[in-house]
Amino acid sequence: MTIRCSIGTAKVLGLKKLKVDALPTTAYLMVGEHCRFNCGFCAQARESSAREDLLSRVSWPKFENDALLQGFVNADLESQSILQRICFQVVQDKAALVETKEWVKSIHAQSQLPICVSAGARTIEEVGELLDLGVDHISIALDAATPEIYAQNKDGSWEERFSLLKDSVKRFPGHMATHLIVGLGESEEEMAKCIQTLYDLGITVALFAFTPVKGTRLEELPPPKMSQYRRVQVAHDLIRQGLARIEQFKFCDGKIIHFGMEINDLKMMRQGEPFRTSGCSGCNRPYYNETPGKELYNYPRILTSEEIDRAWANVLQETEWDNTQ
């Protein structure tokens, strides 16, 4: 059996030598190839002609299972102190879930780290089976903030996925997560509403910035404006922390124009936190959406004070900020 892991994970596990700016704090593993679904943004989609070793911007070299498992066993002390979690990204082909379960068993025997499975489960029974094997978080990706955006970009239905998430979190509270992609054509208001609904149900949200990948259906769509992404990140942070609810936000033409609190107060209180990678604890996804050398959508580490200033300045750009409050 073989498995792919992100290039940064390969470095942490001692399987590849390379220089990187930021190391992943989660080991990202990819099971399955050539998805039966056809998401417009995904390199692994049915009709994608992108390089088969890509998922988003990241390359995923292949390893024999023994080599990978040895990586976990042999990881030096430095690597062991870096990794906080293991995440299986499951590409939906016929065998992938069966294979994932085998992998979860093998890795669980070698490592005490919490394990997530992303995109593997299709029914509540499958969610239960994975949790029984010791998986700690299951992510069922909605990706789109609304059913309409979902229908334009993905197979299947938003409502079905949402109801699977809802039923699963009711049965298995604290164990469900989802991914949302900013920049597929939704408004900031639609995204903020979706985030509030998910947190009200107890579902963890991981925010991604849409990233055009050559060979995918959406290769020509530009990534979201940084200002849009920053406002959604702040909305997400306030909702996640229970510091504000969507009812306190103000919107104009779908854009956020106030959070119900002064920006300077928010900046003092939250510093760079809203702009760090979100999702399961310990997940930092370095360079998943980012181009090295350019401003980062999701910071995989603590921000510098200049980065904090720039990120909060971005929040106020390209919107009619409401200064009347």
Binding footprint of ligand SF4 on the chain (CB under 6 A): 26, 85, 87, 116, 118, 137, 139, 177, 179, 206, 279-280, 283
DSSP assigned state of 54: E
Beta bridge partners of 207: 180
Q: At closest approach, how far in Å is the CB of 305 from ligand SF4?
A: 27
Q: At closest approach, how far in Å is the CB of 5 from ligand SF4?
A: 13
Helix (H) or strand (E) holding 28: strand 26-31
Beta strands in 140-210 (DSSP E): 176-182, 204-209
Side chain identity at 257, as an amino acid letter?
I
How far apart, in whole angstroms, are the C-alpha atoms of residue 280 and residue 270? 19
Local structure of 41: helix, strand or coil: coil
Q: At closest approach, how far in Å is the CB of 96 from ligand SF4?
A: 15
Nearer to ligand SF4, 26 or 146 (CB): 26
Nearer to ligand SF4, 137 or 267 (CB): 137
Q: At closest approach, how far in Å is the CB of 92 from ligand SF4?
A: 15
Nearer to ligand SF4, 87 or 239 (CB): 87
Nearer to ligand SF4, 189 or 290 (CB): 290
Question: From residue 288, how far is each of 135, 173, 216 by CA, in Å?
Answer: 23, 28, 16
Contact 212, 221 (CB under 8 A): yes
Q: At closest approach, how far in Å is the CB of 125 from ligand SF4?
A: 20
Contact 4, 61 (CB under 8 A): yes
Nearer to ligand SF4, 184 or 257 (CB): 184
Nearer to ligand SF4, 139 or 228 (CB): 139
As given in the structure block, the two tokens for residue 159 are: 């409502």
Nearer to ligand SF4, 85 or 230 (CB): 85
Stated length of the chain = 325
What values do phi and psi take at 27, rounded to 5? -85, 115
Q: At closest approach, how far in Å is the CB of 250 from ligand SF4?
A: 29
Q: At closest approach, how far in Å is the CB of 304 from ligand SF4?
A: 24
Q: How far is CA 198 from the centre of its chain?
A: 14
- Residue found by looking up tokens 């390199």 in the block: 43
Q: At closest approach, how far in Å is the CB of 24 from ligand SF4?
A: 10
- Residue found by looking up tokens 């760079």 in the block: 272
Q: At closest approach, how far in Å is the CB of 120 from ligand SF4?
A: 10
Nearer to ligand SF4, 26 or 79 (CB): 26
Nearer to ligand SF4, 24 or 249 (CB): 24
What values do phi and psi take at 135, rounded to 5? -70, 145
Local structure of 310: helix, strand or coil: helix
Contact 222, 232 (CB under 8 A): no
How far apart, in whole angstroms, are the C-alpha atoms of residue 7 and residue 121? 25
Residue nearest to ligand SF4 (CB): 279
Beta bridge partners of 28: 87
How far apart, in whole angstroms, are the C-alpha atoms of residue 38 and residue 199? 28
